Structure 1
Amino acid sequence: MSGEDLVLDTAIRDWVLIPLSVVMVLIGVLRYFVSKLMRSYQAPDQKVVRDGQVILRAGHLRAGANFIPPKTFYSRRTYFTNEENGILHVPKGQAQNAQAQMFSDPNMAVDMMKKNLSMIIPQTLTFAWVNFFFSGFVAAKIPFPLTQRFRSMLQNGIDLSTVDVSYVSSRSWYFLNLFGLRGLFSLILGEENATDDAQRMMQMSGFGFDPAKNLSAEKDSIDILQHDWALPKFEKRAEAVLRRIVS
């Protein structure tokens, strides 16, 4: 059952929808440059870089394992996963938790705090501004039908159960812009930009790359990998195809 249709005033478009979208884009661009200014330079850790390259090499071995002879594969697997001197083997005494590594490096903790503040403060002020000036407006309508499950997401701040679900409130439009402008920021600022709020919110609960954990996971993946050399099968398929062509 569809709700009642509304006629949206063009003034809402000119004084609510467009200004809110423009402000969200400008704040995102401004936050990007502020984050670059606040970002402190840290020399890359050679051990972390080396471990990352080892993980990449192990991933390439897993991806192309079936295209090398069995003897070569098992030799490389021993080189990676040998319990004595394998480059993926991490002794228990050397495994360091990523959280402990962060607390041992105060610069890392300060840099993370700067990144989080550069996101939290602008978005808190913007939400307060939107909630004070634009709360209660029906700002737009999505040009396709939606189910009732989208009502709480698209009509935040208004209590009109008889209105069609496809209408979007001003507060919901703010959240849609907050999490939906990633593609636009990638075009304006490039792929490596600091305005991906959705990704940053997911990263706020973590503490970065853990070499020991990733090395152990890659070692387990190679240990359980079953080698199936694809070349003999390819030769048989090629012979079958040639026979069909000749016949």
Structure 2
Amino acid sequence: MGDDLVLDTAIRDWVLIPLSVVMVLIGVLRYFVSKLMRSSQTPDAKIVKEGQIVIRAKNLRAGANLIPAKAFRARKSYYSNEDNGLLHVPKDQAQNAQAQMFSDPNMAMDMMKKNLSMIIPQTLTFAWVNFFFSGFVAAKIPFPLTQRFRSMLQNGIDLSTVDVSYVSSRSWYFLNLFGLRGLFSLILGEENATDDTQRMMQMGGFGFDASKSLGAEKDNLDLVQHDWVMPKFEQRAEAVLRKLVS
């Protein structure tokens, strides 16, 4: 049955194309609404400084083997020393920072605005799709898929005999919801407010957690095993010169 199924061109014209166009327009509208709702806040100098410390520590980890062992140990102690290391955060200070972060009303309000700008439009859009377009087979993937993709691509239709490569209208909505990031980047630029995947992952957070980031980077730096590459490079260079001379 899956091989003999022919999609009506009217479904393409009245379901597939309108649904895709509406998803793009809603994404662009949400970007400008989020921009209007976004409050301008002066960056906290302490948070900026701690973020720069994390970046510098990551750079040290990335280039650890390019400097001598003595220089690496000195820099490592400068960052991860238990007494006055830049990455060391006392437990009481970390708890106070978290409590201050959660008690900041401006930060909580900004997070609520961001979440509402995502939840309300997508809830209304899903209700619109579910009411008008539920039950349609809207498109077909041009390559074969395994049965594991059936629940993802055929949401809303109960036809186990239909080939897995056919996509229901409801599943097409979800594919557009999470798959339009590249298009929005072209239209709105890389720094746009329409990345639903990233936003859903951050819905429970309140931005940069300095104490957690510093502690995690300290643990990563402590695990680095230094192996200076310069002696090995000199040995390889000498071996190459010997071959050239001989």
- Report the Cα distance in structure 1 between the residues aligned to 2:208 and 2:33, rounded to whole angstroms: 24
**Helix, strand or coil at the partner of 1:140:** strand
Q: Is contact 1:98–1:208 with CA below 8 Å preserved after alignment? A: no
CA drift at 1:97: 6.5
Relative to the length of structure 2, the TM-score reads 0.95
Q: In the alignment, what sits opposite 1:13? A: 12
- Report the Cα distance in structure 2 between the residues aligned to 1:121 and 1:80, rounded to whole angstroms: 44
Q: In the alignment, what sits opposite 1:189? A: 188
CA separation of 1:124 and 1:24: change in aligned 2, threshold 3 A: same
CA drift at 1:92: 2.0
Q: In the alignment, what sits opposite 2:48? A: 49
Could you say what the CA RMSD is over the residues aligned between the two structures, in angstroms? 1.5
- Report the Cα distance in structure 1 between the residues aligned to 2:126 and 2:193, rounded to whole angstroms: 19
Q: In the alignment, what sits opposite 1:33? A: 32
CA drift at 1:28: 0.2
Deviations 1:116-152 (A, max 9, x none): 0000110111111111111111111000011111111
Q: In the alignment, what sits opposite 2:67? A: 68
Q: Is contact 2:135–2:168 with CA below 8 Å preserved after alignment? A: yes
Q: Is contact 1:98–1:207 with CA below 8 Å preserved after alignment? A: no
Q: In the alignment, what sits opposite 2:91? A: 92
CA drift at 1:56: 0.8
Q: In the alignment, what sits opposite 1:233? A: 232
- Report the Cα distance in structure 2 between the residues aligned to 1:67 and 1:103, rounded to whole angstroms: 41
What are the ranges of 5 or more consecutive residues in structure 2 without an aligned counterpart?
none
**Helix, strand or coil at the partner of 1:96:** helix
Q: In the alignment, what sits opposite 2:241? A: 242
Q: Is contact 1:4–1:162 with CA below 8 Å preserved after alignment? A: no
Q: Is contact 2:141–2:165 with CA below 8 Å preserved after alignment? A: yes
Q: In the alignment, what sits opposite 1:116? A: 115
- Report the Cα distance in structure 2 between the residues aligned to 1:217 and 1:3, rounded to whole angstroms: 51
CA drift at 1:102: 3.2
Aligned residue-pair number: 246
Q: Is contact 2:78–2:86 with CA below 8 Å preserved after alignment? A: yes
CA separation of 1:98 and 1:126: change in aligned 2, threshold 3 A: farther
**Helix, strand or coil at the partner of 1:95:** helix
Deviations 1:81-113 (A, max 9, x none): 222221111122211366523322100000000
CA separation of 1:130 and 1:97: change in aligned 2, threshold 3 A: farther
Matched, 1:143 2:138: no
CA drift at 1:80: 1.2
Deviations 1:45-73 (A, max 9, x none): 11111111111111111111111112211
**Helix, strand or coil at the partner of 1:205:** coil
Deviations 1:184-213 (A, max 9, x none): 001111111110111111111223221111
- Report the Cα distance in structure 2 between the residues aligned to 1:54 and 1:73, rounded to whole angstroms: 16
Q: Is contact 1:95–1:212 with CA below 8 Å preserved after alignment? A: yes
- Report the Cα distance in structure 2 between the residues aligned to 1:76 and 1:156, rounded to whole angstroms: 55
Aligned partner letter, 1:237:
R
Q: In the alignment, what sits opposite 1:217? A: 216
Q: Is contact 1:154–1:169 with CA below 8 Å preserved after alignment? A: yes
Q: Is contact 1:143–1:166 with CA below 8 Å preserved after alignment? A: yes
Q: In the alignment, what sits opposite 2:77? A: 78
CA separation of 1:98 and 1:149: change in aligned 2, threshold 3 A: farther
What are the ranges of 5 or more consecutive residues in structure 1 without an aligned counterpart?
none
CA drift at 1:227: 1.6
Q: In the alignment, what sits opposite 2:179? A: 180
**Helix, strand or coil at the partner of 1:44:** coil
Q: Is contact 1:146–1:166 with CA below 8 Å preserved after alignment? A: yes
CA separation of 1:73 and 1:128: change in aligned 2, threshold 3 A: same
Q: Is contact 1:154–1:173 with CA below 8 Å preserved after alignment? A: yes
